[in-house]
Amino acid sequence: LVREISGAAAEFTDTGEGSRALGKAFANRNALLVVDDVWDAGHARAFDVAGEGARLLLTTRDSAVLTAVGATDEPIERLSEEAALALLAEWSGTRAERLPEAASDVARECGYLPLALSVAGARVRDGASWEDVLEALEQGRLEFLDHPYASVFGSLRLSVDALPDDERARYLELAVFPEDVQVPESVVLRLWRQTGGMDAVAARDLLARLKSKALLERGSDGERRFVTLHDLQHDFVRLLVNDLPAVHANLLDALAAELPVTDEAGSAWHLLPPDEPYPWLHLGDHLVSAGRREEFRELLLDPRWLEAKLRAVGMSALLSDFTAFPHDPDLAEVVATLRLCSHVVSKHPEQLSSQLLARLLDTDRETVRGTLSRVAPEGVWLRPLTASLPRERGLIRTLSGHSGSVSAVAITPDGRQALSASWDQTLKLWDLESGAELRTLSGHSGWVWAVAISPDGRQALSASNDQTLKLWDLESGAELRILSGHSGWVNAVAITPDGRQALSASDNLTLKLWELESGAELRTLRGNSGLVSAVAITPDGRQALSASDDRTLKLWDLESGAELRTVSGHSGPVNAVAISPDGRQALSASGDRTLKLWDLESGREIAIFSADALVLCCAVTPDGKTIVAGDALGRLHFLRIEGLPPSNRPGSDSP
């Protein structure tokens, strides 16, 4: 309803969230919201969100619902005798003025209720006499004496008893379907093929006959035909059907019979047709009703089912499955995780596996760990190596000493030292083994935004908002030279693999290539429409990739300074970039809260991971298999690249 009113995508994790969204959708609208056939006061309250210009109309046969929400009760009278006789005439195929006196008795016995009148009239049209119908109704009234709608049940019994035994059995099997649900004809046809051996033509003919007897309704949404039962018809078939759990089992067998054959372990329910919502929405109900509750529980611990259902019918429907197990601690942990990541996976179901791992890898629940061990999505994806999203990991040590925010850090090639850059206008060199501060490099007159260390580990280059870069000797801490030329803040810097050149990125929308030995500016790279925030150089030193606030990455030829390609796909500023050791893939971190993996040769996006906050930085390990990314909430995400073809896999020996 929210989607229809607002035109925006709507996905909720609980009723309260949906109610609030509905209230916003109805704000400042003059509208009448009609909610039909309400039996639960909580359901009514969920829709009681209309603004001053809107009104809520509830229909119910339980006045307590109206009292609970403070609604005004407006009773609806039953049909008058004249209107009841007109309806009987229509369904019986008799002109109203030619109805016999017994028709008035039939109308009275039907309680002047439209459904009972329709069924009774259809029975007369099919050849029964008015007197026989009246007698059957009187018998039905006695049979269903304790039911408030005994007249309706009596009328239904009249028509159902007149069906041949096999057709009667098929009709009563409709009790297997939930109340107030439009059941696809295709699902009914599968059930009847399973239970009665009926082909599609015979099944559709039976549905047509049942409709003509007012025993069900058929409709279409433009794409699919469906079958519905009035709630009293549904109550009636539920009352008379034999062995309802067996019918549920038959329906499950009918659905399973059309699943593709697979060598995968476990059930194949995740292979249900993705374009047929009914089985996805109601499979759990049928499993529980068939006495296969444990199978349903196992399904909710199967990552294949979770992702497949998410793709087919959305997060709200997936979360509703878990209500069948309100006190299961394993499922409680899974559903809590789904709620946490719903904002990501509702839009990107392919990220469900990485989200589950990133939030649950350190769980102490053995069953949930078993679930995670079965995570194996198709295609390229980023596998988290730690539970970086929901829980903090162990801290080894904190390096303290800066008097301002720390904006960047680089580690020496031997892994023993680190150099940090700060808004306090200094850099600090640290011993990683002990955490000791070795020296402070001072000289900038503005915040130090970025730092890079030369391949031999002897020198470092820093970038500052004082519009300069400075080259330092790490052994002595001496400033070797200043690189000047940018007319804006210098945001990032990278050194070529041979250590001879450096590339800097600036707020003035440009990059500059420098010769480190002389400090000479070699060329300026232009093309971005926003500040350039990050830069990385390919392992062969021939190309560079820049990231910008204009939401793009650009690939450059360093020899000529030519722009080779623009890579687009982020919806927010790109904050950081890294290139895999083999130079085939690139990684970008963005203010749109995503981390994206790209194929450098084609510029194609090949994998994505969404965090809960802006992704500020990223790096690839030397073996090219693991990614580390940091977000604005201070968390590190460890992800493994999986699913790449061998020719594109980091560390592959393929040419």
Of 8 and 428, more confident:
428
Segment 133-162 mean pLDDT = 73
Structural domain includes residue 290:
yes
Residues 333 and 256 in one domain: yes
Structural domain includes residue 576:
no
Pick from 162, 188, 206: which residue ends a domain?
162
Comparing CA positions, the residue from 649, 609, 650, 644 lying closest to residue 630 is: 609
Residues 372 and 417 in one domain: no
Structural domain includes residue 389:
no
Residues 180 and 297 in one domain: yes
**What does the pLDDT look like over 562-616, one tens digit per residue?**
999 999 999 999 999 999 999 999 999 999 999 999 999 999 999 999 998 999 9
The β-bridge relationship of strands 479-484 and 468-473 is: antiparallel
CATH of the domain at 234: 1.10.10.10
Structural domain includes residue 208:
yes
CA-based angle 58:62:66, to the nearest 5?
45
CATH of the domain at 496: 2.130.10.10
Contact (Cβ atoms closer than 8 angstroms) between residue 385 and residue 397: no
The β-bridge relationship of strands 54-58 and 31-35 is: parallel
Pick from 162, 190, 211: which residue ends a domain?
162
Residues 250 and 364 in one domain: yes
Residues 268 and 201 in one domain: yes
**What does the pLDDT look like over 453-492, one tens digit per residue?**
999 999 999 999 999 999 999 999 999 999 999 999 999 9
Segment 525-533 mean pLDDT = 94
Domain that holds residue 48: 2-69
Structural domain includes residue 584:
no
**What does the pLDDT look like over 77-127, one tens digit per residue?**
678 889 989 998 999 899 988 899 888 988 888 888 888 888 888 888 888
Identify the pLDDT of residue 126.
Answer: 83
Residues 299 and 238 in one domain: yes
Residue 394 has pLDDT above 50, yes or no: no
CATH of the domain at 59: 3.40.50.300
Residues 63 and 24 in one domain: yes
Type of residue numbered 571 = S
Identify the pLDDT of residue 316.
Answer: 86
Strand partners for 565: 555
| Whole-Å CA distances, 455 to 292, 409, 513 | 62, 15, 17
Residues 232 and 316 in one domain: yes
Structural domain includes residue 568:
no
Pick from 119, 141, 162: which residue ends a domain?
162
Comparing CA positions, the residue from 65, 58, 121, 70 lying closest to residue 95 is: 121
CATH of the domain at 97: 1.10.8.430
| Ranges 49-58, 277-286, 530-539, 584-593: which has the least confidence | 49-58
Q: Write out 232-252 in H/E/C secondary structure.
A: HHHHHHHHHCCCHHHHHHHHH
CA-based angle 135:139:145, to the nearest 5?
140
In Å, how far from its chain's centre is CA 551?
A: 25
Residues 217 and 282 in one domain: yes
Number of domains in the chain: 4
Residues 22 and 158 in one domain: no
Identify the pLDDT of residue 148.
Answer: 63
**What does the pLDDT look like over 344-385, one tens digit per residue?**
888 889 999 888 888 888 888 888 888 788 777 778 888 888
Residue 5 has pLDDT above 80, yes or no: no
Residues 280 and 339 in one domain: yes
Residues 152 and 276 in one domain: no
